[in-house]
Amino acid sequence: MRLTYRLSALGVRLLARLLIGLRVRGVEKIPERGKLIIAANHQSYLDPPILGACLRREVHYLAKADLFKYPVFGTIIRHLNALPLKRKDPDIQAVRQAVEILQGGEAIVLFPEGGLGPTVDIRRAYSGVGFLAYQTGADVYPVYIKNTRRAWARVFKRCPIEINFGDPIRCGKLSMGDTNKKQDAYLAFSTEVMQRIAALKAVNG
């Protein structure tokens, strides 16, 4: 892990514990080496830095392309392994980069819901997680994040964030065939991931 990345993660973790409160369960399930996908629900802009700060390894992120329009902020998040993703159209370049990252033995954080929603409820998944899992053979670790939306709205008021890591989900192999059937398989796998995240929400309470 790069020193600047390690220091950034440490700083975020300390601030979260001191100003907000942070409870983490099951992070030891995440291997410190090897390709894997971390899939979490998405409540606020705090999710990526808080989640990344809990891990013992560097991870990569897909972030909406608009965030990179701000020169200083864009430079910072690029240094912290964020990749720009255009959401309006299929972003082939971003997907190709994500595949290369995983095939290189790295870890990537994804939010299967595709972005922030109007509520904290678990929402339906898009097929991206399933596609990357099948294309690379990477295990997917579901994660439930609680209270980042409330913490974002209540700065300096303690509202403990809870992060619960689940057991890995492994995809099978797809036979060559109908493209539509593959798309169905990608979406079905992504839906299963969201169901596992919802189950972690129930455990979290």
Give the CA angle between residues 144, 196, 52 to the nearest 5°: 35
Q: Report the side by side order of strands in the sheet with 36-40.
A: 22-25, 161-165, 139-146, 36-40, 107-110, 60-64, 82-85
φ, ψ for residue 88 (rounded to 5)? Answer: -70, -35
Domain membership of residue 191 as a residue range: 3-204
8 Å CB contact between 39 and 193: yes
Predicted pLDDT of residue 2:
86
Number of domains in the chain: 1
Q: What is the CATH number of the domain that holds 107?
A: 3.40.1130.10
pLDDT tens string for the chain (205 positions)? Answer: 788 888 898 999 888 888 888 899 999 999 999 999 999 999 888 899 999 999 999 999 988 888 888 888 888 888 899 988 887 667 788 889 999 999 999 999 999 988 877 776 788 888 999 999 999 999 999 999 998 887 766 655 667 899 999 999 998 776 656 667 888 899 999 999 999 999 998 775 5
H or E element, residue 11: helix 3-15
